Structure 1
Amino acid sequence: MMSQKNKNAKIFLEFGKNISNCGSTEVQIALITSRIKSLRMHFKFNNKDHSSKRGLLCMVSKRKKLLNYLKKKSLTKYINITNKLSIRR
């Protein structure tokens, strides 16, 4: 099992092109998607955890806003990242 720091470094390299590029839109979307996937596993066993569900909804909303921004800014990057992360458009 990988630590969160290693997962984040892997995401920085894959979507940000280097380890220090952690603020780009693509990296932020990938990080939020990673956290959403881990929370989905959490909810399989803890379906009554309502405070975490609220956090999940906030993350989904933030990712949607970032995706809309990226779509306006660069449609090709938007299409690439949605395909890589298997995000519904």
Structure 2
Amino acid sequence: MITTEEKQAIIAKYGNNPTDSGKAEVQIVLISTRVKNLTEHLIANKNDNHSRRGMRLMLGKRSKLLKHLKDTDIERYRYLIKDLELKDRY
């Protein structure tokens, strides 16, 4: 679970202003943070298939957002991939 302070810090770092939560970079980072937390949960709870499905849906949404960012602004995409340590497969 992402705390409000963590969310605000992410928005401040990747958004244009402190209330800019709709930017693609902000959404990608928020989803990535949730996926990391959920991965830890799934390691401890291997049979939690409902959460596993939710994580797969989040990964699909992140993939679409990354593809959109790559198509619209390749420099921001490269910076984000490097910053989040993701593979460039989108």
TM-score by length of 2: 0.93
Aligned length: 88
For residues 4-62 of structure 1, the C-alpha deviation after alignment (integer angstroms, 9 at most, x for no partner) is 11110010011114211110000000000000000011011101100000000000000
1:2-13 to structure 2, matched below 5 A, reads: 4-13=3-12
What do you get for the CA RMSD once the two structures are aligned? 1.4
TM-score, normalization: structure 1?
Answer: 0.94
Q: What amino acid is the match of 1:35? A: R
**Runs of 4+ residues deviating >6 angstroms:** none
Task: Name the CA distance, whole Å, in 2 between partners of 1:17 and 1:55.
Answer: 29
Cα deviation 1:46-87 (Å, max 9, x = unaligned): 011000000000000000000000000010010000111111
- The DSSP-based 3-state class of the residue aligned with 2:46 is coil
The alignment-based identity, stated in percent, is 33
Q: Which runs of 5+ in 1 are unaligned?
A: none
Q: Which amino acid aligns with 1:11?
A: I
2:82 match: 83
The one-letter code sitting in structure 2 at the alignment partner of 1:43 is L
Long gaps (5+) in structure 2: none
